[in-house]
Chains A and B, each alone.
Chain A
């Protein structure tokens, strides 16, 4: 049976893993290569490394971290943050990533999705979508945010994911800006809306606080995978502990790993 994936996310700034609460108040949490290996050993199905500063001077540091993390990692490994061109993507793939994640650059130039997919395959292209719930109106609607969630784009999330899929996206990494860092649970309504609008896998992100939140996002939210960062880093939960609880709730997971 195809299992639901638990993806450990490492937010990296200047070569160190940090995790923001609503993208602010960054805390230092360790070396990306060490944490990637630790999460993989503990049963994470995939590792995502997001370069949250993505400044030019940090690029070499990031590629070095990717290279070190990839060396001993034999589960799928995604790298995102600051990828603005096919050349940027190629450098990350050459350093050992299996997939790249693009966000603002895809919004500015949707053809970039196609160019990377044509060279590396759609399965290697994750389009990250930061969604912010719009107030009022008839039924729930979400707006796409860019620039790390800071900039409103005026684009509707559902329209954008449909376009991104048609341009060659292989998966979506969908983050609820309303829930990110809150530990109040995933936005299941948002996740299910994107799953229903598209046919490629959707990775839910933002708001994980405990195992019960994963159970609901895989059920009600229909997510194919879920991403979490902060709940793992400070030993609040291990992936193994999380997976055992998911199994008990009847969610198919890769276990034992």
Chain B
């Protein structure tokens, strides 16, 4: 069973709908025991980085940390991906998981923010998450803060400079865009994750 972690940050129905469509069993849950025992974990999320503090309040951070130490595949989407970094300028007092280094920062003032709409990926070879997704594929973004480029960046996007659109290390995956809203390219990635 794939746990879709509910921490009251936005709407999880569309993520569940996409996983259901691909034929995998999943459940929306805020129960740390269910999350810790899940075969795979997805942390979606929209809105403010501060919303991730609910993961601590609900005991979900510990459950997720324990699960990923046992090699449970983990997929962070949008704010869920930003939470995999150390912190975000958006809520400096809140600590992310820190599995990737660096801080998420606001877009430079030269570009309109939020970055909303379909933009293109520059895909690196060898990503398990992005297998079958070509460079130049369009995906749907909606965000005001972006993650830095790191050694684990497997796809970048250009909007007021390059930022991490997808990151990957071993069983840990994160994407800034919304794969559940990104047509066939997004479904391919979700399928790659669900099949791990």
Interface residues of A (CB under 8 A from B): 1-5, 40, 45, 70-72, 74-77, 93-98, 117, 119-124, 170-171, 199-201, 224-225, 254, 257
Contacts and interface: CB of A to CB of B under 8 A. Distances in A.
Given A74-B21, A94-B13, A123-B47, 8 more contacts: A71-B21, A74-B184, A74-B186, A75-B140, A117-B47, A121-B10, A170-B116, A201-B112
Contacts, number: 94
B158 A1 contact: yes
Interface SS majority for chain B:
mixed
B9 A121 contact: yes
Nearest to B140: A76
Nearest to B13: A96
B31 interface: no
Interface string B1-28: 0000000111101100110010000000
Interface string B158-188: 1100000000000000000010111110110
- From B113, B142, B186, residue with most partner A Cβ within 10 Å: B142
Contact of B181 (A2, A72, A76): A76
Contact of B142 (A70, A71, A93, A123): A123
B119 A1 contact: yes
Contacts of B120: 1
B47 A121 contact: yes
B117 interface: yes
Contact of A2 (B10, B115, B180, B182): B115
Contact of B11 (A1, A2, A5, A124): A124
Contacts of B68: none
